Amino acid sequence: MKTSRTPLGPFDDSVRREWIPLSKLRVVWPEAQRETMAANIAKLDKAGFDPDKLTDLVVAGPNEHGVYHVVDGLHRKTWLESLFGADTPVPCKVVSAMSAKRAAEIWRGINGGRTQPTPISDHQVAVTAGDPVACGVEEIIRKNGFRVTAAAADGGISAIQRCHQIFRKHGGSTLNWCLTTIRSTWGLSNEATSGNVLLGFAEFYAEHNGQFDQKRLEKMLAQRYTPARLIGAARQAVEMFRGSVAANVKRVITNCYDHGLRSGRLGQDAEAA
């Protein structure tokens, strides 16, 4: 194994360059790394191997088994192993990350300026890194029985950027209300946690500051709309009133609540309900 240490200075000797066999490079902390995506490996295949263009993998370790955690470069590692075999040594930058949290922080720092990480990947690694917004959002999502996933399955939330947006703009209590109300109304429906629905619910709650009959709201929404019908009504309202789909989700929710009320109404244009 070849080793090249950095000169003394701001980096000291905690960062070093080593040639490490691919067989010694693995994902030790899955929570600090994203899954490999076939499309990214296909891009590497298409570009072809050029050692002058290959950047060092970033790894941490080794652990007591002599294994290094791949902090950054998992796609390159997987691709190189398919080309040259597991015994091939590759250039690695070895960093002094001794925990999943530190590895996640480094991953986010490296990938923050790149376009490859998906919002879900970034969220999951941010949770491991201890980011307060990501951790707050994750706690609320789990507390309400949902989970963050790209899969279109009931109980899953893929609109994680919208959750972060709501948390930052309105606070965790508003996001919690959105998910609690959505679950009480439609269960764990995946359609009910789309970005536009979440934003519409958040803006409704923020505008009325909780000054409405919660039970009536849930009952009226469940009687008059499925999540798909709610989105459909909001899109029709866009044609009438313009604005975003999310803003018109809020409009439809308001008019649904007002339907049949003579007093205590929240909005004005009941015709959109």
Tell the residue number behind the tokens 């296909």, with chain if given. Answer: 42
Whether 83 and 182 map to the same domain: the answer is no
pLDDT at 112: 74
List the domain range (segments joined by +) for residue 209. 158-272
Tell the residue number behind the tokens 């959505």, with chain if given. Answer: 182
Whether 78 and 183 map to the same domain: the answer is no
pLDDT at 221: 97
pLDDT at 269: 53
pLDDT at 167: 98
> Is 92 part of any domain?
yes
What pairs with residue 128 in β-bridges? none
pLDDT along the chain (273 residues), means of 10: 50 77 94 84 89 91 93 93 94 91 89 73 91 96 95 92 97 97 95 95 93 95 96 93 94 94 76 42
A 10 A CB-CB count for 72 gives: 22
> Is 24 part of any domain?
yes
Cα(132)–Cα(140) distance, rounded to whole angstroms?
12
Q: At what angle do helices 172-186 and 132-143 cross, to 10 degrees?
A: 20
- pTM, two decimals, is 0.67
pLDDT at 273: 43
